[in-house]
Amino acid sequence: MGAVRVLSSCAALAAVAGCAVVALGMSGANSGQAAASDPFVMPPATIPSYPMTAPGAASPVAVTASTAVATSAQPAPTTVRAAAPDPTATKRAAAPKTSTSAAPPAPPAPPRTIAAAAPAPPRTAPAPQRGGALPVGGSTSGANRVITVVAGSYGSTTATLQAWDRAPGGGWIKHGAALLAHVGSQGLTTAPSESRSATPIGSFTLTQAFGALSNPGTGLPYFRTDGADWWISQSGPLYNTHQHCSSGCGFAQGPPNEHLVTETPYYNYAVVINTPSGSTAYPHGSAFFLHVTDGGPTAGCVAIPQGSLVSIMQWLTPATHPRILIGVA
């Protein structure tokens, strides 16, 4: 019986040679008992173990008879092989997508340069206006405004009166229109006297104005005449002066002296022509005025229409040191 049993055991082992681990891995308790009672059964310790390394394990695992049975009873795990990483994937992701057909970017336009405007040439002040010469000779020293009275001959009783302004560039510029003026009934003379009705020739200052009417707006000193105003033509220390006196005056209150307030329309307005004759120049003429005309010759004065005279009086000022030039041309 012992031999048959041995043969039977061997046959069983031969039949399951590839599965010896399974045959010997039956119940852990029974196998232990069999190993103790059956001399023909190889104890578990004598079964060689085979190292197995699980995918990705850090160390090999020893498989014993007891663990082999459990392992063989379970299906083998399916190992999915990971695809090898594409080394160009990173490069493709990192590299910018370019198009070979796209035109290269245009270079940046150069900054616009705005040429500075050429500086304007300095403005040149216009040359000061120049005037012309006066139509008659005579001193204009210090004067910026002048009146000329020009007759065609020494015996003429009329003349042309023209006002003038000194030009900034020199010479003279006409002020207003020319006027017809009446002069002495005996014409013009270079030797005025009390015995002749002739207008004196020369250059004379204009410093005083007066009239029976109120001041028309002249810049010259002006007095309005009344019954006490006289112009002295008698010889003596008051010769050729204005006097305001009503009684005990030291001069005759009648001819040859002129009672100014009564001499109308001539002395409605008047400007004194200051001839060089003075109180000691008797009888070289007195009471020469630029006054209002009555349309006829004078006793030696210069006469123009009242409206024209008012305009001239408004134009005359002491600051311009006005003069009147009387002559023949």
Q: What is the residue-wise DSSP string for 177-222?
A: EEEEEE-BTT-EESS--TT---EEPEEEE---EEESSPP-S-SS-E
**Model confidence band, residue 2 (pLDDT cutoffs 50, 70, 90):** very low
Q: What pLDDT was estimated at residue 275?
A: 85
Q: Which amino acid is at 192?
A: P
pLDDT in tens, 91-129: 444 445 555 556 667 777 777 767 677 787 788 888 889
Q: Are strands 270-272 and 289-292 parallel, antiparallel or unpaired?
A: antiparallel
User: Given the structure tokens 């216009």, which residue do they identify?
Assistant: 126
Question: How far apart are the C-alpha atoms of 6 and 329, rounded to whole Å?
Answer: 185
Question: How far apart are the C-alpha atoms of 163 and 178, rounded to whole Å?
Answer: 8
Indicate whether this model's pTM tops 0.75. no
**Model confidence band, residue 85 (pLDDT cutoffs 50, 70, 90):** low
Bigger pLDDT: 182 vs 22: 182
Residues contacting residue 220 through CB under 8 Å, at least 6 positions apart? 206, 207, 208, 209, 271, 313, 316, 317, 318
Q: Are 26 and 72 in contact (CB under 8 A)?
A: no
Q: How many CA atoms lie within 13 A of 269 on its CB side?
A: 21
Which tokens in the block code for residue 252?
A: 């005759």
DSSP of 43-79: PGGGSPPEEE--TT-SS-EEE-HHHHHHHHHSPPPPP
Percent of the chain topping pLDDT 90: 57
Question: How far apart are the C-alpha atoms of 163 and 312, rounded to whole Å?
Answer: 8
3 has a pLDDT exceeding 80:
no
